[in-house]
Structure formats: C-alpha cells, structure tokens
Structure 1
C-alpha cells in the first residue's frame, strides 16, 4: 500500500510541476502582450502615415527595431514577437507586417476576431517558409491592440507571440519516467505530447486524444486543467502512466531485493578494488617523480589527479615543479641578459675607438703633437687635440654603463667641437637640455653615438651647411632624447631595412643605431620609445624615450 501511495504521489507531483511550468511560459507571453499594448508611443509610430519607404526605414532603425526584440533575452521561451497592422505605409519585415490578403485568409487571423477577450491562445499548422512543403506547428498568444489606436486613422493592430514549442517538449520529456503527457486544447486535439509521437505527420492535422484511448482498457489517467474563467479555459494536461509500476513494484519486490543486494555487493567490491588500485598507481608515480627531483629532473605528473587527498598532493607537486622550472629559467635568462649587456657595452667602446690602441702610447703621442702646436701657435689645432685627449681619457676612466645626462652631454659636446673644427663654417650644432634633468641617468654613449651617426651619414653627404640639434627634455615620467640633422635623409627602402634590422635578435650588425637600440632594450625592456623619422634632402630625426621613474628597478635587476 505504501508503494502505491508513493507512486500516486509522484504522479501528482509530476502533473503539478508540468502545469506550473507551462502556465509560466504562457503567462510570460501574456505579460509581454500587456507591456506592448500599453506602449502609447508604439501606437503613435504604427498609426503614423509615412511618406515613403525611406522615412519608414529611418523610423524603424531609430525607434521601432528594438521595441519588440528587447523582450526575447528575458523571456527565452518565446520564439518570435510580431505586430501586424492595416497601415499600408509600413513595409513588412523584421517584427512588423502589413495585413495583406494572405494574412487575412490565415486561420490565426480569423481566430483573432473570434476572441471574446482581447487575449487568446491558439495553435495551428502552416507550411514552412523554406519551400519544402513540410508543415510547422505554431502555438501563439494573440492579442488585439486597441488601447491607444487613433480613431481618425482607424488602423487595426494585432500582436502575435509565438511560443517555442521545443520548450514544451522539453518539459514533457523531463517527466517521461513517470507519465506519458499530453497537452490537449478545448477541441480535444493533442497539441503536444511526450516524445512528439502523435505529431510526427502534421500534414494529416492534429490527433484527437479520445481516439488514442477509446479502445484501451486503461483509462486511469490524470487530468489537470488551467485556471478557469480566462483565455486558457478548456485547455488541459493529461497524464497516462506508461506502465503499471505500482503492481510491478508490489508484486516483484521479492524477486528484485536479492538481486539488488547482490548487485550492490558486487559494485561495492569493484569500486573498492578500483579505488585501491588508483591510490597505489598514483602513489608510485608520485614517488618516482620525487626521486627525479633529487636528480634535477623537474617533470610534471601527467595523470588524472582526482579529487581526493592524493590528487591534491599531485597538484601541489606539479605546481612546485613548475615554479622551480620557472625560477631556473628566469635566473638563466637574467644571466644571459647581463652577458649580452656587457658585450654591447664593450662593442660600443670598440666601435668608437675603431682600433685597439695602447692608451698610454696614444696620450703620449697626443701630448707631443699638442706641444708642437703650442710652440708654433696653432691654437685651433691645440683645442682639437685637447678635446680628443679628453675624449680618450673619458673612455678609459668610464667604468659605469649608466652615466648622468650631464656627463653624456659633456662627452658629446667634446666630439661635436672636433667635428666643428673639421667642417668649419659648414657645420653648426645646438644643444638644448633642461637643467632639472642633468643628474638623471642614461646609458653611456647613447646620445654621442646617435650624434656621430648624424655627422657621418647625414652631414657629410650634404652640400649645404650641416646642422645637428640635440634636445633632451622630460615629459612626465619619460626622459625624451632627440638627435636631428638637416642632411640628405634616408631612402624609404633603406630606412625600412634599418628598422627591420633593429628587431632581429641575432643581427650581426651591432654598431651605431643598432647598438644604442639594443642596449636601451636590455636596460629598459619593452617600455623604450624608439623611432626614426627621415625625409630625403630634408634630414633625419632619431628619438628615444626611457621611463626614468623605474631606473632604480632596472639597476637592481641588472646587478
């Protein structure tokens, strides 16, 4: 008796659940119809006489397009919302349609005029729009919109909301273990059922529910009706037990119980064996990989880790191994970076010196030449030799890779004075440096090398007076350096090759602009600004910018 009562209770719960879910879908559509019917602005747009298609499309694009579709994301059980009107200035499309002769002859439109209330639920069959000749079933909430229609125009407006019938099938399919369910309309037609067994051949029309069960002995089915007194009057949900589980459960329980006990015992034993085997396998893998860590083999354990304690241990081991690998790689890359930086620094010095000359021999030679110049009153040459001597002395004494702007500008100006002596009146230079940035740091020879490049490739090939301008200023957190010349400029193809060469990690060309760019990248990473602007016969500007607010971080990372 307890089994029978429990089965009946399950049937009732299933029926109540279905009636509640379907009512929620239908009344959701009714709520949409209420919202649309009270939208006075929508009535005004539908009653307006549009002069031409362009005027209507402008109104549609700006105002009408999302008026109806905005409900679809909220009510995902709705397939389409369409508004039909007798206003012939509205072009059919989107969610708005003109009521033409074909629509007037449709069964659903005729049903609208039979409604005793403003709202009704109607189901019908129609051929699909794909041209295949197949029939498609529709369940629609229909409503006449009369709240704000203009009496002067007299247009008729009808709202049609199509329910996604697949949502109803999903509800019935969910309850298939308990009942065969049928949605039946007031004419006793099967509109929707479990599995859709009675709606497969829609070309023959709907099936009457009474014809399905008139010859069956089992008429013990359950019926639930929707709330009476409204547009759902006469609609009902009928549930038919697919078998007689009450009798089977009570009559065969003595046979099933021993089988169930045996099955539970067998399954439990198998589960215990699988769990123990899984534990043993994963522990062996973990032990093997831990031995590998002792021999500096940091390999991950590639097995399904599981959700137990051993799985957590495997995950922790993999995380630890990954972090150790990452730290080792970071340290190795940092060492390579420091070595590459040292190579760049040495190559910058070698590029400027051009040869390996013994410094003491060079100083002695320069001093001897300067003594002769003083003796013979060669004042200009004396100054040049003095600057040249200072340049070489500065190169020998400079040990730091990073120097102040003051030191770099002083060194660069000595070089420019030598160039001035060389070109005389055909060469001028300008240096503009903000006073407050003189103690900020830049890579050694990062300005002088750009100036040398401007003199060598820009000024020498120019027929007029050559001018080199240096501008060093601060822009926010960035130190901006610009070296400009009025030389012959760089051809576009050659400039492209130069810029392309700068980005090549394995480029063998490690001098001049490339040298400066790569050293800046080594010190300041991807935050370096670097570009070259050049026009033929007008000149070239080389710019770089570095974030001086992080200079301390860069210095720490490179030591």
Structure 2
C-alpha cells in the first residue's frame, strides 16, 4: 500500500512539477520567499503569545487586588456600622433591667430595641437579619423579613467572649454573620450580643467589574474550597477539585496557578476565612494572541498571494516562449492547424518554432489531400447509388399499377404514376448532396403514398413534421432508405396490422428524427451485430443505400457526435433515432467552409 502511494505521489510530482519548467521556477521562487517569512511568523507568534499571557496575568492580578480592597472596605463598613450601634448608653440597660421595671417601661424598652434593630436592618439592602441576645434574662430579639421577633426562652452558650468582631460564614444561605459582644461598662461583664446577617450579594457590582468576559467565572469559597456564593450567573459549571483546593490553601507569593488549561486567580479575605476566586479559560486569556495570530495569518496569506503573482510574472517572462509553444501544440492535437507561431526569434527557440511550423503545414497539406480523396470517393459512391433503382420496389409498384389498371379508373393510376415520376426526378436530378428538409419530406410523402396504396388497410402511417425544420439542411435520400427497412424487414412477413410513426422536430439546436414501427423487430444478437457494423469504420460492399451509408454521410457532414441510434425488441418494435445539428440553408456555405 505504501509503495503504491509513493508511486502515485512520484507520478504526479513528476507530471506537474518536474516536467514543467514554469512550475519548477514558480516553486523555487515560492520556497525562497515563503520559507523565511513562515519562520518569522512562527517565531513572532510564539513571542506574542508569551507577551499576551504575561500581560493578561498581570492585569487579572491587579484586578483581583483591587477587588480584594473593595470587598475588605465593604466588610469593614458593615463592621463599623454594627459597632456604631453599640455606642449607645441605653442599649445595655435595656437588656439588663427588664425584670425590675414596670409594664409601661417594659413596653418602652422593647419599642426601643425594636427601633434599634430595624435601624440596623434598614441600613443596607443586603442585610438579611439583625439579632440582639440578652444573656441575663435569656431573651433574644430579631428582625428578619421586615418582622420583629422576641423569644423569651433562649439558651445559647457564651462560646466566644472576644471584644473584636466575630465573623462567621453560612454556606447554606450564601451569607455571613458579623457579631459583637456587649459588655457592661461598670464591670465589663458580658451581658449580650448584637449580630447582623449579611448576604454575599453585596459583591455583585464588584464581580461585574472584575469579570471582563462572559466565559470567566467569579466564585466565593470558604477556606476548605467549598463554594459559598457565585456573584454572577455562569453557563459553565465550575467544580473545585481537591487538587485545586489544596493549591488555594498553599502559602505562596503568586496569587494564581494553572490547571487543565484554565487560569485560577485568588485572594484571601477575613483572615483567610473567605477566598475570592476568578477562573479564566485559556481561550479567553489568549484571545489577544489569537487576534495577533489571525492578523499574522492574514498577512501571511496576502504575502503568499503577492508572492504567487510575482513568481507567475517572473516565470512567465523566463519560460513564456516555451509555454506558448507547448500550448499551441495542444491546439494542434485538437486538429486546429490555424495556430500562429512566432518565428521572429533568432535563438534556439526561434529555430524550434520554425521547424514546428513547417511540420504543421506539411501535416495540414496531407490531411487536406486525404479529406479531398475521401470526399471524392463519397461523391462517386453516391452518384452510383443515385443511378440505381430498387428492382424489388419497382416490381411491386408495377404490380400494383397493373392491378389498379384492371380494377380502378385512370385517376388512381395517374396519381400513382405521378408520385413515382416525382420520386425518379428527385433521385436523378442531382442538385448537390444537401437539400432542404421540406424537399426531403416531400419526396418521403411520395414514397409513403405508394407504400400506402401497396399495403392498403394493413398499415397505418403517422407523419409529424415541425415547421421549424423546413429550412434545415439534410443529406439527400436520408429518410427513404431508413423507412424502406421498415417495409422490407418489418411489415412484409408480419400478419398483424402495421403501424409506422415518423416524428421530425427541432430539439434545442438539433434536428431529431424518430422512426418507429411495430414490425417483427430484431433479436438482441442481430441488433448488436447491426450496431457494430454501423459504428465500424469498414466500408460496406453492399450497393444499396442502407443504414450504414446514411450514418456515415451524417457523420461526414456534421461530425462524429451525430448519426443513427437503433433500438429494437423481437416481435415488438424497431425504433431508429437520427440526430444532426440544426443548420439553415443560408448558413450552409459558411458552415462547410469552416469545417474544411
């Protein structure tokens, strides 16, 4: 198989490259000019890819640091906002003296707490709830979904007594809580806790600025790699594997890494409790390099195009005389001997042109002599054929005339005799081998009249002639010999009634003649043998005007692509289709002058 492929490749390479001086010259020019350009494009594309990657990494790191600052600033604002609520001298008494005051004061105190909590709750749209816990009387107050709740039986351990803000993430609600303990000023006793739950949705506007492409993903993770929140809806699903989670928690200076052709940029927030992660696909990172590569490809294609044009111009200037001679040789192969060959050059190519022109002239003279000899032979054959009359046909015609003389009056005999006289005159009155179609059809009508009288009701004849073909030219005695075969071979031995159909019409730029009868037909062996005789170049020794003679004359005058086709089936039908070009009588002389 490999040997065959190499052999085919070698064959086409020799045919289209090695054996063509023009292509070899073009190929050499292309190689000399394109190889350095291609190497330069590959190197520059590689360098630009690295430069674009470095630039994109630096840009994303800067954006991540800036976003980290924005988020930290926002979290500090929530912390300061919560702390500002503690700086109130009424807050501690309101959660430590509830059991020692009157009912009116209890109502006023609860109203105060309610207003305080609602003030915090309405402070920002991302705040989900605010809760105040009193450890002394085990109560807690809560504002959530714009409702105020009080629970008198509250049991929560004082598990964190830090004075700083307490930060806690809630993955189930995509939120976090900020809490601050409340201490009584006199003895610094822990008496309660103020807690605010905030949704991570406050990061939406920050993520929008951080995301520069729809294919990028912004995620908020906890320190275990669990996804807390996705600020912006993404079509693609990002799965944080253990390998990625490990890299996020590995201390290192660079805040990015690559995994599976994706780039991961991250920043830790709130003492590394939260990780802001940005995932950028490689195709997004390298979009600038892709544009540079596309521009380079466009420049390369333009360069190739210009190089090809230049190589064509140069190769044509160098190999033009030989290429021109080669093309003219191809025209001569198509029997076009009227090509013009430049013989003005005095070098070796001019000598070659002169010798080739002399050879063409000699070939042309030999062909013309052979063609004239063939035409003279054809004319002699046709003159001989014109002078003969089918004895069988004459005998039958005379028999009919004799019978009519006994049985009918002189008018029928007169008509029969007239038709026969017209036929003789048409055959013997030589006006050239080409006639108008209307003349050939008129002769055919005379012939069909005689045959109709001869066969009587045993045969029906249908003749259709398209008026568009009346002025078309056709070789003399083309139709009668074909139709005569239908009577001679198709109807004479047939018992059933015969049907003969003749259609003559113009089909596009051709004349199509279809002759069909329901005679005895031909076996397939006889049909193939007849087709072989017609298609062969061997001259028939039969002196009758038959199908072979008609087909040969059509091909002689109009070309090998025209002629006769025969179709037949034994005991059913025989169909003959004759095709020739549609040529009017006014175009006759010009047509044949050009052919000769």
Indicate the TM-score class for this superposition, using the shorter chain for normalisation: 0.3 to 0.5
Instruction: Give TM-score scaled by structure 2 length.
Output: 0.40
Bigger radius of gyration = 2
TM-score normalised by structure 1 residue count: 0.43
